[in-house]
Amino acid sequence: MDSGRPIYRQSASRLTVAAHLFGILAFILMLVWLLHYRGGIEYHSDNPDRVFNVHPFLMLCGFIFLVGQAMMAYKTVLSRRVVRKSVHMLLHLIAMVVGVIGICAAFKYHDMIHAEDVYSLHSWIGLATFCLFCLQWVLGFFAFMFPRAAPNTRARMLPWHVFGGRALLYMAICAALTGLMEKATFLNLKHHRESRLINFIGLFVLLYGIFVDLTVGLARYV
């Protein structure tokens, strides 16, 4: 069993590099889109579009990029378990805080333009993901950090915790992709350059999630 570990570690290392590359590309293209094409990012602006731009930026940073980093940090960083668990928990906590601000920006934008809230598939998936993510974090904190559940309970919960984290990452990606499609449809971009830029953002977000999941699945650090 141990003889396979070097292969897993080498594969996970290469996949982690690819995951970071796709994540950074998605982040850069998101900034290009929001700053160059959409007029900037400002939560307290009088311009509804600038307020809205806070939403995709923070949701990408928090619920996709930071969550992926938290998952990879726990599975691939060579450090003591308590350090990896602490970093894992802290990055997820930051993602939650960032997510709250991003969701508030979307509601504020709807209020400014007098639009209905929570009517689209994107919003349903996004809010469901956020609520389940918070539940996952709370259960994980009390079961694995403080005060910690009994060893048998932790052993039974661990596979579900891992599966839940990976599923929530894909749910966040689904929310991001449906949100990008929804925005492109509202803007009626069709074959405009901005439309192709949005497509590349979605593609890199999806590839980031896939390579994060592969990294977590192939890493065998314990």
pLDDT per residue as tens digits for the range 164-220 = 999 999 999 999 999 999 999 999 887 789 999 999 999 999 999 999 999 988 875
What is the reported pLDDT for 1? 45
What is the reported pLDDT for 11? 63
Whether residue 202 contacts residue 177, with contact meaning beta carbons closer than 8 Å, is answered with yes
- What lies within 8 Å, CB to CB, of 198 at 6+ separation is 33, 180, 183, 184, 189
Q: How far apart are CA 181 and CA 12, in angstroms?
A: 31
What is the reported pLDDT for 146? 86
3-state secondary structure of 116: coil
What is the reported pLDDT for 222? 39
- Stretches where the chain sits below pLDDT 50 are 1, 221-222
CA angle 200, 209, 77 (to 5 degrees): 130
What is the reported pLDDT for 9? 58
* List of domains in the chain: 11-219 (1.20.120.1770)
What is the reported pLDDT for 185? 93
